[in-house]
Each structure stands twice: as structure tokens, then as C-alpha cells.
Amino acid sequence: MSGTRTAHWDDWTLEELRQAKGDTGVSLVVPARNEAGTVGDVVARVRERLVDTVELVDEIVVIDSDSTDATYDAAAGAGAIVHRSAEIRPDLGTHPGKGEAMWKSLFVTRGDVIVFMDADLTDWDTHFVPGLLGPLLTWPDVQLVKGFYERPGEDGPLDGGRVTELVARPLISLLHPALQDVVQPLAGEWAVRRQHFASLRVPTGYAVELASLVDTVTALGPAAIAQVDLGKRAHGHQPLLDLGAMAVQILAATLHRATPADPSQTHAENPPTRREVRDGSTILRQFLQGPVPLDRVVEIVERPPAETYL
């Protein structure tokens, strides 16, 4: 057992946290790609409860990750500061992906502590934010706090987290047993000290969560990580094909960290994933019999520590 330090979100009252916060700046960062349907609710509820009412969060920043829908307007209308990921530090170029949006957030936020939350939450509450802040505001040795929760799946209360169960947890068991007590290693709800996040290499896609955990435990040991029980959380479920791409990114980042490598190396090759589909599209069905290979290029890129550019 690694003994990841574990808390419950109501171990601290809002008043205790407000006092512990003192002058510590707190930024909520919400990476969002095509989340016009949910991002406004996420922003509005946090703003009403934790900015307007108790002053625990100093800024709510949505990073619009190349959305093609009305995410920008929905987030801005709900009171967030909104930046388009591609327009932040244009001198550094742009990549698609959630990790890219989170990395870019370091250039447009000012909090000493950053709380990340997904924009597609459907069953959640604002206690996620104070829950994640608790250890960072009161336990000085902690650098990174992961949320965990019950994850209702489409088929029942325990059916959640396909990539978590089939990719992340096996990787952790085999390569990083110091993280085996982390209940939801892929949770998008987590918090981190700015300085620490700025010292990490950040995969531009979905590997940002596991890579951050691995690099933190490798550099600082398990005591730098805490986790908080946030109760229950439901979110939008991606199709298996998209989760395959997520799995490739997570495997690439973890395997890269498992072998000695030139730390300045950026993976140049973006491996395709291939899946045979029987009914890909109407057009394919018309002209082809049997399974059709459906290839998709998965971008594998890592940003160097943001502190390099700050």
C-alpha cells in the first residue's frame, strides 16, 4: 500500500477554507471542447456559490479548446473569463487537446492554486471545488489533489471508467505501484499548486492526468499527492472509438516515462489506431462488403514545463 492521503470533501467547512486561503489566489480552470450544453451551468453554479457568496474562488477561467459550437458564448454568458486555447501565447503554436488547454491556462491565470474541472458534468455539485482545495490549503506538503467519486455508468452504479479500468489501473499496477491507492487516476477534477504544474511536462491530449500523477510521485514521492472523496459524479460518455484514442495517448505517455529517454524528446510519430467497423457510414456500406478498417491518427505531443516560458 502506498497510503495515498485521503480526505472527504466535508472534512472542511467553507468558512475554515476561506480562513485557510488567506492571500492564496485560487483559479478554477475548465477546459471545454464543444460543451455549449453544459459549460454554462458549471460556471454559473460555481460563480454563484464560491465567488459571489463566499469568495473562495478568485477567477473562473474557461479555456475553449477549438470548439465549433457556442461554448465560448455560453461560458462567457455565465460569467467566466474565456480564452481560446489557440489564441493564448500564439508564439508557442497550438495543438488540439485537453492537456494543451490546461497547459495554456498557466499563461492566462493568476491563482497560486489551480482547480481543474471538466465542462461536461451532469451530476455534480459545487462542493467539488472546496473539496479539492482542502488539502492544498491546509496540508503544506501536498502538491496535487485528485478527486474521486462514485461513477454511475450507463448500465448501473458501478459501471464507470472504461479506460480507467482497462488501461490506467493495469499500467499503474505494473509500472507505478506507488499510485495504486489513487481511486480515480483519470479524474478530470483535480487541483494543483501553480508552481508545481508549471514544472511538469504536459501531454497535449488526454494523458495529462496520468502523466501528472506519475511525474509528481516520481519527483516528490506519494506524500505530495492527496485524494478527496467528492461523492458522486456523472459525465458525458465517449464512444469506444474515441476512448481507443485516449487509451493510445495514455499508454504512450506512460510507456515513455517507463523507459529512460531523452527528456527533451517530443514524440514525432503519431501512431494511428485501427479498428474494423462493420457499419461505419452509409457510403461505406453501399460500396464495401464486410469489415472496413477505420484509421485515425492520434497526436502524441508533450509540452515542456510551462515555467520555461513564464
Ligand X SMILES: O=c1ccn([C@@H]2O[C@H](COP(=O)(O)OP(=O)(O)O[C@H]3O[C@H](CO)[C@@H](O)[C@H](O)[C@H]3O)[C@@H](O)[C@H]2O)c(=O)[nH]1
Ligand Y SMILES: O=C(O)[C@H](O)COP(=O)(O)O
Q: Which of 127, 162, 267, 275 binds ligand Y (CB under 6 A)?
A: 162
Contact between 179 and ligand Y (CB under 6 A)? no
The residue with cell 467547512 is: 13
Contact between 94 and ligand X (CB under 6 A)? no
User: Is-contact 300 270, C-beta < 8 A?
Assistant: yes
CB of 167 to ligand X, least distance (A): 9
- Cell digits for 93? 503554436
Stretch that binds ligand X, among 106-114, 232-240, 260-268, 280-288 (CB under 6 A): 232-240
Return the residue nearest ligand X (CB atom): 188
User: For the chain, where are the alpha helices, taking DSSP H only?
Assistant: 14-21, 39-46, 71-77, 98-105, 128-138, 162-163, 169-175, 194-197, 208-220, 240-258, 282-287
Contact between 271 and ligand Y (CB under 6 A)? no
Contact between 170 and ligand X (CB under 6 A)? no
Nearest alpha carbon to residue 65 among 81, 84, 41: 84
Alpha-carbon dihedral angle through residues 133, 134, 135, 139, given to the nearest 10 degrees: 120
Residue 17 or 61: which CB sits closer to ligand X? 61
Residue 51 or 179: which CB sits closer to ligand Y? 179
- Cell digits for 38? 453544459
Residue 103 or 206: which CB sits closer to ligand Y? 206
The one-letter amino acid at 238: Q
How many CA atoms within 13 Å lie on the side-chain side of 9? 19
Query: Among ligand Y, ligand X, none, what does residue 35 contact (CB within 5–8 Å per kind)?
Result: ligand X
What is the DSSP code (8-state) at residue 143?
-
Of 22-81, binders to ligand Y (CB under 6 A) are none
The one-letter amino acid at 35: E
Query: Among ligand Y, ligand X, none, what does residue 98 contact (CB within 5–8 Å per kind)?
Result: ligand X
- For binding to ligand Y (CB under 6 A), which residues are involved? 151, 153, 160-164, 186, 237-238, 243
Contacts with ligand X by CB under 6 A lie at 31-33, 35, 65, 96-98, 101, 118-120, 186, 188, 206, 209, 235-236, 238, 246
